[in-house]
């Protein structure tokens, strides 16, 4: 009997060591937002990541866009969504989904400051390498 208990404990310990996050899962929206944030701002500051996430959530709350985050993020030519994300992008996604905002509710658009054809109107804010517009 002791041998089986010891074997079961060893198997459980080995499973935890090989898959430390096996019991932790993220919902679809969190992962999708983290992937979009990472695709746009992987080399940017945490504040920039929050700002990108804020634009996505501002769109969800706007009458001019879909009221589902997945639909907003998957809208053609709006948010690139890669297959990867990192811990900081995931943290920013969690913060934004929990209600934290880095920009005013009017910020519905973003553009890289390195864009070849910058917008003519003045941005509401500039955070990192991005300008944000209403």
Strands 125-127 and 109-112: unpaired
Q: How far is CA 123 from the centre of its chain?
A: 22
Please answer whether residues 46 and 38 qualify as being in contact, where contact means their C-beta atoms are separated by less than 8 angstroms. Answer: no
Tell me, what's the pLDDT at 51?
Answer: 98
Tell me, what's the pLDDT at 25?
Answer: 65
Residue 17 placed within a domain: no
Residue 6 placed within a domain: no
Instruction: State the residue range of the domain holding 69.
Output: 26-133
Q: Give the number of domains in the chain.
A: 1
Residue 104 placed within a domain: yes
Residue 94 placed within a domain: yes
Tell me, what's the pLDDT at 26?
Answer: 85
Q: Mean pLDDT in each 10-residue stretch from start to end of the chain (134 residues)?
A: 56 49 69 97 97 98 96 94 96 97 97 95 97 97
Residue 19 placed within a domain: no
Tell me, what's the pLDDT at 117?
Answer: 94
Q: What is the CATH number of the domain that holds 42?
A: 1.10.10.2520
- The three state secondary structure string of the chain is CHHHHHHHHHHHHHHHHHCCCCCCCCCHHHHHHHHHHHHHHCCCCHHHHHHHHHHHHHHHCCCCCCCCHHHHHHCCCCCCCCCCCCHHHHHHHHHHHCCCCCCCCCCCEEEECCCCCCCCCCCCEEECCEEEEC
């Amino acid at each position: 009997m002791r041998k089986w208990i010891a074997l079961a404990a060893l198997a459980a310990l080995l499973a935890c060591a090989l898959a430390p996050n096996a019991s932790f899962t993220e919902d679809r929206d969190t992962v999708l937002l983290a992937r979009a944030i990472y695709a746009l701002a992987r080399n940017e500051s945490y504040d920039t990541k929050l700002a990108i996430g804020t634009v996505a959530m501002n769109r969800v709350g706007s009458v001019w866009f879909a009221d589902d985050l997945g639909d907003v993020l998957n809208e053609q030519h709006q948010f690139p969504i890669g297959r990867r994300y990192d811990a900081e992008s995931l943290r920013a996604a969690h913060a934004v989904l929990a209600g934290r905002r880095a920009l005013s509710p009017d910020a519905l658009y973003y553009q890289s400051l390195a864009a070849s054809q910058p917008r003519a109107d003045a941005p509401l804010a500039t955070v990192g390498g991005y300008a944000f517009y209403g």
